[in-house]
Amino acid sequence: MAATETSQHVQRLFSDYLERNKHRKTPERFAILSEIYAHEGHFDIEQLYGRMKSKNYRVSRATLYNTMELLLDCQLVRRHRFQGAQAQFEKAHAYRQHDHAVCDRCGKVQEFCDPRIQQIRNTVSEVMDLEVTHHALLIHGICKDCRNERNEQ
Amino acid sequence: MAATETSQHVQRLFSDYLERNKHRKTPERFAILSEIYAHEGHFDIEQLYGRMKSKNYRVSRATLYNTMELLLDCQLVRRHRFQGAQAQFEKAHAYRQHDHAVCDRCGKVQEFCDPRIQQIRNTVSEVMDLEVTHHALLIHGICKDCRNERNEQ
DNA sequence: GTTTATGCAAAGGCTTTGCATTTCA
DNA sequence: TGAAATGCAAAGCCTTTGCATAAAC
């Protein structure tokens, strides 16, 4: 699927979501979604704010936070807290399910997929009678580079 | 293993850790560890502070935060960020590996074990050349009670 | 015309930091 | 005795809130 196609598609999904939930379709909301889907990888609110500012979008941090709540609710965005207090986000649609491995020394985050996680989800859902919406698996460790550095010192 | 035995054991582990890393063995540090191991379940700094205050331990929040870093480093405690900014902790030793399922509506946290997660860890470790120290799997969903409430409204 | 959303700045909550004092080694 | 840890309060950072203004419906 081409980038523009995906972008149009999520705009549509967001539009439908707003309509369903009687929220207003403001230009800011669509501009934010568009900016998010124009980039790959993780970002925090400050980075998103900076990117929009630099393109001369007039948007406030408050609106960014508010809009992220909506985008989380309709599953177009996912939120992580890898380390520290500040939340990291990433787009969630048309981006295959994946999890994260983080190096606790340098903070580097890598992605991986493993089908077994789906089986675990199914089991947990059954056993606990939980209507599972999503999950986050974070594997912590020390990456190769950091191990080498440690040994050199 | 009896509770006191475990407690003595972790005190020993902590003591060794402090020695190895040339940290001082202060009474505060051992009192904090002891208080943590005297309880089950998750807790945050404020709760720990309250519990120690109520027992007339004289300890500051700063020392609690500092000591948690040490306990995290030597793996006697684990830190989670289930939701919101504030960190939740739980003791990690002699407490079998488990993961968490959280209801996004009421915030209830349940624990579960699944051996398949270990297989995933092994795979990730191999493929990414990561020296895995620990992991955290969080399964999000809506619990039975909350689903029922939603339907009644 | 109402009601909702925005933007700004102020307030809030959790965590970290600075510094004088105390304590461990 | 000298270096490290403690306690307190202040500062920091991320996030939320309050309120006047603007915009959607």
Instruction: Parse chain A into domains and list their residue ranges.
Output: 1-95, 97-153
Other residues' Cβ atoms within 10 Å of the Cβ of residue A143: 21
For B139, nearest residue in chain A (alpha carbons): A135
Query: What is the per-residue pLDDT for B1?
Result: 53
Query: What is the per-residue pLDDT for A4?
Result: 66
Q: How confident is the model at residue A147 (pLDDT cuts 50, 70, 90)?
A: confident
Query: What is the per-residue pLDDT for A95?
Result: 67
Phi first, then psi: give them for residue B89, nearest 5 degrees. -120, 165
DSSP track, B72-114: HHTTSEEEE--SSSS-EEEE-TTS---EEEEETTT--EEEE--
CATH homologous superfamily, domain B97-153:
Ferric-uptake regulator, C-terminal dimerisarion domain (3.30.1490.190)
CB contact under 8 A, A142 and B135: no
User: Angle at which helices B45-54 and B27-37 pack, to 10 degrees?
Assistant: 110
Phi first, then psi: give them for residue A144, nearest 5 degrees. -55, -50
Q: Which residue out of A69, A129, A131, A151 would a mutagenesis test of the B interface target, given it has the greatest number of B Cβ atoms within 10 Å?
A: A131
Query: What is the per-residue pLDDT for B43?
Result: 95
Query: What is the per-residue pLDDT for A7?
Result: 83
Distance between CA A84 and CA B86 in Å, rounded?
10
For A117, nearest residue in chain B (alpha carbons): B117
Per residue in B15-57, pLDDT (tens digit) is: 999 999 999 999 999 999 999 999 988 999 999 999 999 999 9
In chain B, which residues have their Cβ closer than 8 Å to the Cβ of A121? Answer: 139
CA A122 to chain CA mean position, Å: 23
Query: What is the per-residue pLDDT for B86?
Result: 87
Query: What is the per-residue pLDDT for A94?
Result: 64
Strand partners, B110: B101
**A26: which nucleotide lies closest, measuring CA to C1'?**
D24
Query: What is the per-residue pLDDT for B147?
Result: 87
pLDDT at B81 over 60: yes
Q: How far is B139 from chain A (nearest CA, A)?
A: 4
- Bridge-based pairing state of the strands B88-91 and A109-112: unpaired
Of A16 and A2, the structure prediction assigns the larger pLDDT to: A16
Per residue in A40-96, pLDDT (tens digit) is: 889 999 999 999 999 999 899 999 999 999 999 999 999 998 877 789 999 987 667
CB contact under 8 A, A139 and B121: yes
Quick one: what percent of chain A has pLDDT higher than 70?
A: 93
pLDDT at A152 over 90: no
Helix (H) or strand (E) holding A98: none
CA B44 to chain CA mean position, Å: 9
> Residue ranges of the alpha helices (H) in chain B?
3-20, 27-37, 45-54, 61-73, 116-128, 144-152
CB contact under 8 A, B137 and A140: no
CATH 1.10.10.10 fits B1-95, yes or no: yes
How far in angstroms lies nucleotide D8's C1' from the CA of residue B60?
Answer: 8
pTM: 0.86
Candidates A104, A125, A136; nearest CB to B138: A136
Per residue in B88-110, pLDDT (tens digit) is: 999 987 667 899 999 888 778 89
Query: What is the per-residue pLDDT for A104?
Result: 83
For B110, nearest residue in chain A (alpha carbons): A128
pLDDT at B151 over 60: yes
In chain A, which residues have their Cβ closer than 8 Å to the Cβ of B116? Answer: 116, 119-120
pLDDT at A138 over 90: yes
Note whether B98 contacts A: Cβ–Cβ < 8 A. Answer: no
CB contact under 8 A, A123 and B114: yes
Distance between CA A33 and CA A18 in Å, rounded?
13
Average pLDDT over residues B123-143: 94
**Number of residues assigned to chain B:** 153
